[in-house]
Amino acid sequence: MVAHRFVESWLRRAPEDGWSLTVLGDEPYLPYDRVHLSEHVGGRTVEDLAMAPAVWDDPRVVLRTGDAVAAVDREARTVRTASGSVHPYDTLVLATGSWAWTPRAEGTDLPGVFSYRTLDDLRGLMAWVRDRGAALGRSVRGVVVGGGVLGLEAAAALQTLGAQAAVVEFADRLMAVQLDAGGGEALRVLVDDLGMEVRTGAAAQRLVAGPDGAVARAELSTGDVLDADVVVFSTGVRPRDRLARESGLAVGERGGVVVGPTCRTSDPAVWAIGECASFEGECAGLVAPGNAMADVVVDRLLGGTAVHSRSAEGTKLKGVGIDAASFGDVLGLTPGALEVTFADPVAKTYKKLVVSDDARTLLGGVFVGDIDLYSRLRPLLGRPLGADPAAFLTPEGAGGAPQTELPDDVVVCSCANVTAGTIRGAVSEHGCTSVGEVKACTKAGTVCGSCVPLVTTLVNTALEKAGVEVSRAMCEHFAMPRAELLALVRQDGLRTFSEVVAKHGTGRGCAVCKPVVASILSVLGVGHVLQPDQSSLQDTNDHVLANLQKDGTYSVVPRVPAGEITPEKLAVLAQVAQDFGLYTRITGAQRIGLFGARLDQLPTIWRRLVDAGFESGQAYGKSLRAVKSCIGSAWCRFGVQDSVSMATRLELRYRGLRSPHKFKVGVSGCARECAEARGKDVGVIATEKGWNVYVGGNGGFTPRHAELLAEDLDDERVVQVVDRFLALYIRSADRLQRTAPWVAGFEGGIAELRRVVVEDSRGLGAELEAEIARHVDAYVDEWRATLEDPEKLRHFVAFVNAPDQHDPDLSYTSLRGQVRPARTGDVQHHDPRVARTLEVVP
């Protein structure tokens, strides 16, 4: 990656002629994006990972891959490759990177033991897991040694490949270099939630082979033994400095080619950049300082005076499905440093800022579970924070955290070494009018991507200051955002997508705007989602009123208001699951989900459920999912209000209510909060005087606690306040915007939202309530309506031209007494019949 950066920088600045550049690499691929290497497991090809291959089209640049340099002759100024070819040089730049270090442990050379560093490492790992699973006839058991960033990526990759994953870390916490004790514990909770086993304070002492000679188990320093069909070591890297050592260049005590601020080695004709270079006694392990070194060397070779200096590095966990990031002095080791910490065990988030003794200068930060502040604050490292540190961390500050104006010299994108001034200049001096154009112009946000939110803010602010209107277009077909389009459709009384696009858009629509218009029409009560001119607009799940699963089957989730269900209805669900061979589980929303139904089976299953009094739970739509409840005062000795009755009332009121994003409600019968209502989009919590209403919780990938909207309300007032809140959200939120960021970004904050919703300061109350009342009056169960319409039922056949045929490739295996989709290596049972009353092979 650093060599590629050197070539890009050279081509951008070098004279037109009089030079040639040869790049030699031992891997057989074009230089590729190692930062996103794990995405190869998820399907990104080698070509996808290749970094801007256009640089190799320049005739003055020669790239030779798959031919490692074997020796450097500094006296003759030549390099010799493994193939025997010799290349003379005037200037030599070493960008040899690093190699994956494996600790001394017996058995590390066994088949099934891998490093996690290169494309070949990953390809070998992928093939091993696939073939080993097939040979064993079961899921592969994996052990990752090393609980750092790359180790967690490796564990996630194993899970993506269908293997189990256990992480063994010698330190007392995960990501020990980047996180403090609190952050490490918060990360461990999130990793546990992913189904990974974590062993900290342990080392892999010995790997033991099975009967076939491949690795079979790992013996730990704690005396524990883990079954292991594959072992991945991710225990750090060491600089690749062999060429430098053998050619007599100065090498640091801890390895690495010694360089000074100019990145020149002990030989004036040789330079070193990236992970192989030792600057001030340390080798950088990230791409950002390597890129900075590349720019320094290019500048020096062209007569400039640039120098390299060590800057505080930030780290962001990626490719795991967990948010964790840090920068600067994470342990508060700076003399006099103060630590300001906020931990939310319910939302599973942890945030810490480290500041100077006067609480003004930012020294470091740790973020787990919610890293929105990382990109905003990391550029301010070593600079005045500009506000009370606590204001950035508390829930009240999360949405309206103090805004900070970044000076021009602050580095926003450390990977490409791009400053805030450069980004602003791309707008003011180079005429860029979009984030994409700025990224292409400056390279900001093109490597790891963590700075993109901040880059977007800077670009939009610069455009507004320049008098350029920032586009709020939904897509190329509609020049306005969702909220504005909803108002126009309501005003004009439009009833179909054709009418909407003809009046307010262009073209034929796309995958962005079609579902939005479908949702708007549903909000305005324009018929069933499968009626003509609407069915083709829906997302995949809405199109069949069920959630698509990984094997091409669907889930059936009937509504169970407040989790309350009769024995008779339970018996019906059990019988349906048994008759159709469906996987059954209690969902997190207190409902019973049936998984594995084929498309053609859905109407038959719905008929039996509808006849028993069930209706669609809308588990597939951008709408109300469920209202979770504790047992409340009806049974609980601590309950102060009837939470089940309130939850049932709210669920039956808002069922089927389409919105910009799915939303959930929780009702707790006392302050003990067993329904976790503050983790929902709307939370209702009982008090001795009535109910408190909280809004804007949940947040999906970015969990957030709901904020107090109103206190001590009676039942009718609760319904009124929630009506107004939901109607206002549906009316004004953007496409796919959850309530959490909508509340956080509401102009004037929660205080103004309270005035609008609770106090009716804008006189919208009656209008908002009427919108919900219209929905309640017009509600029709989508399953029942589909069953009553032959035209809608035509959607539910596996093959349009062969309605009696079924997918012969569906295959299943047993899991704790039930079926699940088979993976590679599982013992499989194929079932082409209509009713899957199958005997599962164990």
How much is the pLDDT for 397?
40
Element containing residue 132 per DSSP (H, E):
helix 119-136
Cα angle, residue 78 at apex, residues 77 and 83 outer, rounded to 5° = 170
CA torsion through residues 740, 744, 748, 751, sign:
positive
- Output the known binding site for [4Fe-4S] cluster: 630, 636, 670, 674
How much is the pLDDT for 80?
97
- Output the known binding site: 630, 636, 670, 674
Please report where in the chains the tokens 């800057």 appear, as a residue: 311
Q: Do 753 and 726 form a contact (C-beta atoms < 8 A)?
A: no
Cα–Cα distance measured from residue 283 to residue 344, given in angstroms and rounded to the nearest whole number: 36
Cα–Cα distance measured from residue 603 to residue 233, given in angstroms and rounded to the nearest whole number: 50
Cα–Cα distance measured from residue 697 to residue 703, given in angstroms and rounded to the nearest whole number: 7
Core vs surface per residue 19-42: b (16+ CB within 10 A) or e = eebebbbeeeebbbbebbbbbbbe
How much is the pLDDT for 840?
33
Cα–Cα distance measured from residue 241 to residue 190, given in angstroms and rounded to the nearest whole number: 38
Cα–Cα distance measured from residue 727 to residue 705, given in angstroms and rounded to the nearest whole number: 21
Element containing residue 141 per DSSP (H, E):
strand 141-145
Cα–Cα distance measured from residue 402 to residue 397, given in angstroms and rounded to the nearest whole number: 8
The gap from C-alpha 30 to its chain's centroid, in whole angstroms, comes to 27
How much is the pLDDT for 395?
57
How much is the pLDDT for 605?
94
Who's near 367: CB < 8 A, 6+ residues apart? 183, 323, 324, 325, 326, 350, 351, 352, 373, 374
Tokens describing residue 550: 């990984």
Listed residue (490, 515, 516, 512) closest to 503, CA to CA: 490
Average pLDDT per 10 consecutive residues for the chain, totaling 842 residues: 94 90 95 88 84 91 95 96 96 95 92 94 94 92 95 93 94 94 94 92 95 95 95 94 95 93 96 95 87 94 91 79 90 93 87 93 93 85 87 59 72 82 88 81 78 79 79 78 86 84 84 84 76 64 76 86 91 93 87 89 93 91 92 90 95 93 94 92 95 89 84 96 96 89 86 93 92 92 90 72 58 73 56 36 32
Burial class (CB in 10 A: 0-12, 13-18, 19+), 745: middle
Entry pTM:
0.58
How much is the pLDDT for 534?
65
Q: Do 65 and 27 form a contact (C-beta atoms < 8 A)?
A: yes
How much is the pLDDT for 811?
67
How much is the pLDDT for 398?
39
Domains within the chain, CATH numbers bracketed? 2-99+239-301 (3.50.50.60), 113-235 (3.50.50.60), 405-471 (1.10.10.1100), 482-538 (no CATH), 622-780 (3.30.413.10)
Cα–Cα distance measured from residue 170 to residue 145, given in angstroms and rounded to the nearest whole number: 9
How much is the pLDDT for 831?
46
pLDDT in tens, 401-456: 556 677 888 888 877 778 888 999 988 888 888 777 888 888 887 776 667 777 87
- Output the known binding site for siroheme: 674
Core vs surface per residue 90-109: b (16+ CB within 10 A) or e = eebbbbbbbbbebeebebbe
